[in-house]
Amino acid sequence: MTMRRLDRKRLFEAEKLGKTVDVGASPLMKDAIVSATQHREGHKAITDIVIDLGSSAVDLKTKASAQGVGIGNSSDASYVCKVDQSVFGVVTSVESVCLEAFSDGVDSDIDLTYGSANGSLGTAPGTSTSFPTDAQQNIMSAVGKSTLSAFDASELDVDGSSGLYINFVAGAATTTTATATIDVSSATVGNIINGVTTIRVMESDGITWHDFVADSSRAWDASAGVNVFGIGASGGSGGNMDSLEKLSYAISTAIHGDSNFTTDAASKVNTDNVATGNATSIVVSHVLMTTTGEGDNYLIDDPQNLSGISVGAFTGGIDNGRDIASGKLLLRFTGFVAPDDI
């Protein structure tokens, strides 16, 4: 029998990437896996999975309505792999190395878990445990961050055939709420009609409307009323409603006075009682973060005297999830393959 020797170059090429293996990723997550390879050292099996959560090949999102809910897309399963002994051997350690920091454009806290259920967008993967096992970790907060979890009782492979699922989940609930912009920079103050001009804003529950109606009996610089904004003359030294800055101030103050909304500070500036320097656009935010916060708002106008106010929709919430912008991770499983019976 002829023995063939591998020269140094061929041996290097064979060992550089290792053997490609199927780690049992969900159909959705397969497109986020850059490579899944395995090296053998006798009975030791080292399996490396490189994952790109921000890959253009797959549209992964976050929907962090609570800590521990999954990433993904729609209701599709989003587990990274299933840790079966037939592929990984008896796993004794799992190491993670961040190769690119994670971000969905707003939040950056993400964790890795193992458990008997697979996760999906906005849904927790059943009862699961975080890597590393001693504490929940923001494993992709910075390039080079590494974690190591040790196992000594075949915890990732329950009975030799029922491997557990590895899932990415939100490390913390998001505090980001949906926002909308009301722009009065092109408005005509004289076309704001008492009892007619109405700004209709949707509460974060996606069901309840709040109407703010122009009221000439109320001063433009008065404190917030109930479902009205003042267009009458100042009760003090502020003069008549005669500028876009005053109009913006009146609307912003009224909406901010409703406990379901807040408005930005730049639209509530009343310098020298004449609103000098007040912004002519208003950023409205929901007080509560919900999965129903995004949606249209409306302006009710006099068709013969259009106000010129622009009322934008609530956007930037988590209703449909946020696109993952970046995040690369190396997962290294070290396992040992049992020899055949002799």
Give the least confident one: 223-227, 244-248, 330-334.
223-227
Average pLDDT, the chain: 92
Residue 308 has pLDDT above 70, yes or no: yes
Alpha-carbon span 7 to 259, nearest angstrom = 75
Residue 254 has pLDDT above 50, yes or no: yes
What pLDDT is attached to residue 130?
A: 87
What pLDDT is attached to residue 12?
A: 47
Using alpha carbons only, what angle is made at residue 39 by residues 34 and 45, rounded to the nearest 5 degrees?
110
What pLDDT is attached to residue 135?
A: 61
What pLDDT is attached to residue 9?
A: 54
- Confidence label for 102 from pLDDT (cuts 50, 70 and 90): very high
* Percent of the chain at pLDDT exceeding 70: 93
Amino acid code (one letter) for 328? K
Residue 5 has pLDDT above 80, yes or no: no
What pLDDT is attached to residue 238?
A: 94
- Mean pLDDT along residues 74-99: 94
Alpha-carbon span 62 to 67, nearest angstrom = 11
Residue 88 has pLDDT above 70, yes or no: yes
- Confidence label for 163 from pLDDT (cuts 50, 70 and 90): confident
What pLDDT is attached to residue 136?
A: 62
* Percent of the chain at pLDDT exceeding 90: 82
Q: What is the pLDDT of residues 11-49, one digit of tens each?
A: 445 555 679 999 999 999 999 999 999 999 999 999 999
Residue 309 has pLDDT above 70, yes or no: yes
